[in-house]
Amino acid sequence: MTSNFSEPALQLCYENMNGSCIKTPYSPGVRVILYMVFGFGAVMAVCGNPLVVISVLHFKQLHSPANFLIASLASADFLVGISVMPFSMVRSIESCWYFGDKFCSLHSCCDVAFCYSSVLHLCFISIDRCITVNDPLVYPTKFTVSVSGICISISWTLPLVYSSAVFYTGISAKGMESLVGALNCVGGCQVVVNQDWVLMSFLLFFTPTLVIIILYSKIFLVAKQQAVKIETTIGSNKAESSSENYKPRVAKRKRKAAKTLGITVVAFVISWLPYTMDTLIDSYMGFITPAYIYEICCWGAYYNSALNPFIYALFYPWFRKAIRLILSGEILKGHSSTTTLFSE
């Protein structure tokens, strides 16, 4: 007796090719939704972050060591959006890698490098904010443009060296040759990293993040104390002149900047922590995480690169004004670089 039902044929990434990976795509409706969601994140990262970079570099009022760090952070997020997210989108939705083995290594290298570049930028930004809030009188001599340049150089050099060592020397897969062989198929881009290097990656993420959390806790505590002192001073002397109100206005603006950067840090931690924890646990549990869980964690991390410009636009009036000037073409006019974006 023969069966009237037959097993559905397996879909392959490359039909009629020996050693092709098995393709497990989503249904057409789900694929359309995922392309829209993932594509939106990539477009926002590619379009939003250059606005931050242009704003800081064009307008002289924004030329400061802290803002140069922010512009460099936006550059890292932009590179995630343009060099990582589009190709990861196809890989995640189609469950195949169509861009070749060599580009797989380059893509993975860029992915890791720009991630760690972001966390190092945020770490240095938190140090900058801590100095300016806790010791504002000596801040101009401690955190100069040259110091900012050194921080930016470190934030780019170390991640690039680390990621190149992981993905181009092969030392990160030592001891896992059997798993590498099992995953080796045409149309795949699975990068295998052993437990030692996964633990190192976790520490490279966790250590700066812990520094950031500690520093921002201190910043918010000091900012709260300053707010109480300012309110007490103003309450005891209601007849203050406008010049005497200068310091409270500056202190208020700096506390708002610290708050905004704090929200940026919280968004970063929420975005990246699930992915970092998943990769750490997975390496010690035999890679048991379902593919869709891994992709959710991965895209949560990617989406962080699209969030920062929205945070700046939401909390910084000067950034909203800069965007209007950029999009309207006003920055092409003479002397636009001296435009006042905020008053002291």
Instruction: Determine which helix (DSSP H) or strand (DSSP E) holds 118, and give its type and residue range.
Output: helix 101-134
For 302-314, the pLDDT digits (tens) are: 888 888 888 877 7
For 127-163, the pLDDT digits (tens) are: 888 888 778 788 888 888 999 999 999 999 999 998 8
Per-residue burial over 94-120, b if 16 or more Cβ lie within 10 Å, else e, is: bbbbeeeeeebbbbbbbbbbbbbbbbb
Of the candidates 109, 117, 85, 113, the one whose C-alpha atom is nearest the C-alpha of residue 170 is: 109
Mean pLDDT is lowest, of 151-160, 183-192, 267-276, 305-314, for: 183-192
Mean pLDDT across the stretch 198-205? 80
CATH of the domain at 183: 1.20.1070.10
Instruction: Answer whether residue 5 is part of any domain.
Output: no
Q: Distance between CA 236 and CA 238 in Å, rounded? A: 6
Range of the domain at 256: 24-234+244-337
| pTM (two decimals) | 0.83
Instruction: Answer whether residue 18 is part of any domain.
Output: no
Is the pLDDT reported for residue 107 higher than 50?
Answer: yes
Tally the domains of the chain: 1
Instruction: Answer whether residue 69 is part of any domain.
Output: yes
Instruction: Answer whether residue 89 is part of any domain.
Output: yes
Of the candidates 182, 26, 17, 160, the one whose C-alpha atom is nearest the C-alpha of residue 98 is: 17
pLDDT band at residue 171 under the 50/70/90 scheme: low
Q: Distance between CA 117 and CA 17 in Å, rounded? A: 39
For 95-105, the pLDDT digits (tens) are: 888 998 888 88
Residue appearing with tokens 């670089």: 337
Instruction: Answer whether residue 19 is part of any domain.
Output: no
Instruction: Answer whether residue 123 is part of any domain.
Output: yes
Instruction: Answer whether residue 3 is part of any domain.
Output: no
